[in-house]
Amino acid sequence: MTFFVRRAGFFLATLWAAVTLNFLIPRLEPGDPAEALLARLSSRTEAVDPAQLAAVRKLLGTPDGNLLQQYWEYLGALAQGHFGVSYTYYPYSVTDVISEAMPWTLVLVGVTQVISFAVGTVLGAWAAYRRNSRTDSLITLGSTFIGTLPFFWIGLLLIFVFAITLNWFPEGGGYGGGSQPGWTWLFFSDAFQHSVLPAVSLLITGPIGWILGMRNNMVQNLGEDYARLARAKGLSRRRIALTYGARIAVLPNVTGFAIALGSILGGTVLVESIFNYPGMGRLLLEAVSNKDFPLMQTLFLFTTVGVLLANFLADVAYGFLDPRVRRKEAA
């Protein structure tokens, strides 16, 4: 039990540090966003009018008071879910913008990640089980080859073949002009149609890391003394492969998987921009290119929290899966 309490404590401490850094870093950067904005707006090089500056500050909601007061206000706002107003989508609040984009990413990337992990683990284990066979070479070499292809190229190829040439799927976007977001059959089938190509592109490259990681871990485990002893015990190949190979080999992958899940919140910038998909990744791209500080900061915060949370869950899962860790930490 102490193990889990310790992990939770560690999680909370890191979360606090991340939140605080997220507050401090923009304030430690040189320059004033209001002045920067004015300088961009006016082509003239004259001195900035203080009144104008004050007005812009009001407009942006630049905080007053000393650092400590600001910090308290910041924590209070965070607790209530206020992240400020987006510059790009003014007057919508950051919360609105993000809650609009979040479901798209969660569904697309989340589902493909889970499938990638499952498929990758199974394929990797299979390759290790039949190591040095033709199946193994096919799986290993095939995934290494695909892994060398640039992701955007795969995406563009998919669009070219299936959207432009064959016209089976739309070229991009989250849903078509004909449907409006809502709990209707029309919208869901339309959204599904739009998600096929990005999902496929993610599924082509997604499992590769898991396949190779799983295969290598498992081949190594099957070469250990305990696997050899299992053979000497006359256990079935299946039992050896599962309990003495896969069961141990999957452990390091679990951590990797949790971190991958955590980073979903940050979205997948590349795939979302290639397919013009209305998720978090594209939002991040827009925020960065428009210097939309509140949006950027919130997205970064989300990513950090997501990764931390996922790490925490991975630790907890690891505690269940690997008795060695539980013991070491708790002792």
Partner 1 sequence: MPLLQVEDLQVTYSPRDSAAVRAVDHVSFTVGEGEFVGLLGESGCGKSTLGHAVLRLLEKPAAITGGRITFDGRDVTRLDEDELRPMRWADLSTVFQSSMNSLNPVITVREQFADAIAAHPEATGGKVDVDERAGELLEMVSLDRGVLRRYPHELSGGMKQRVALALALVLRPRFVLLDEPTTGLDVVVQRDILDRLRELQRRLGFAVLFISHDLGTVMEMADRVMVMYAGEIVESRPAADMVVRQLHPYSAGLLGSYADPRDADVEVAYTPGRPPDLSRRHDGCLFQPRCPVAVDACRTRHPSLVPVERGEARCLLLEGPAEQAAHGGRQGAEAAPGTASAPVPPPVRNVAVFSTTADSRGREGGEPVMTVEGVGKTYRTKRGLGFTSTRAVRNVSFTLRPGRVSALVGESGSGKSTIARLLTGVERPSRGSVRFKGTRVDRLRRSALRRYRRHVQLVFQDPFSALNPTRTLAYALGRPLRNHLGMDGRQARARAAELLETVGLSPAEQYLDKLPSQLSGGQRQRVVIARALAPEPEVLIADEPISMLDVSIRAEILELLDTLVRDRGIAMLYITHDLLSARLLADEVMVLNQGSMVEHGPTLEVIGDAKDPYTRRLLAAIPRPGTSRVPAMAGSPAEAATGGTGGAEQRPPGI
Nearest approach in angstroms of CB 8 to partner 1 is 13
CB neighbours of residue 129 within 10 Å: 21
Figure out which of the listed residues 102, 235, 285, 316 binds partner 1, where binding follows CB under 8 A. 235
Figure out which of the listed residues 98, 248, 254, 314 binds partner 1, where binding follows CB under 8 A. 248
Spell out a b/e string for 14-27, using b for 16 or more CB atoms within 10 Å of the CB, else e. Answer: beeebbeebbeeee
Which of these ranges, 48-56, 171-179, 305-313, 319-327, lies near partner 1 under the rule CB under 8 A?
Answer: 319-327
Quick note: the x/- pattern for partner 1 over 81-120, rule CB under 8 A, is ----------------------------------------
CB neighbours of residue 106 within 10 Å: 15
Q: Return all residues near 272 (Cβ < 8 A) that are at least 6 apart.
A: 105, 198, 278, 279, 280, 281, 282, 285
Return d(Cα 227, Cα 54) in angstroms, integer. 72
- Please tell me whether residue 1 binds partner 1 under the rule CB under 8 A: no
Which of these ranges, 68-76, 84-92, 173-181, 233-241, lies near partner 1 under the rule CB under 8 A?
Answer: 233-241
Nearest Cα to 268, choosing from 299, 295, 241? Answer: 299
Nearest approach in angstroms of CB 140 to partner 1 is 17
Return d(Cα 38, Cα 36) in angstroms, integer. 5
- Please tell me whether residue 247 binds partner 1 under the rule CB under 8 A: yes
Nearest approach in angstroms of CB 225 to partner 1 is 4
Nearest approach in angstroms of CB 155 to partner 1 is 39
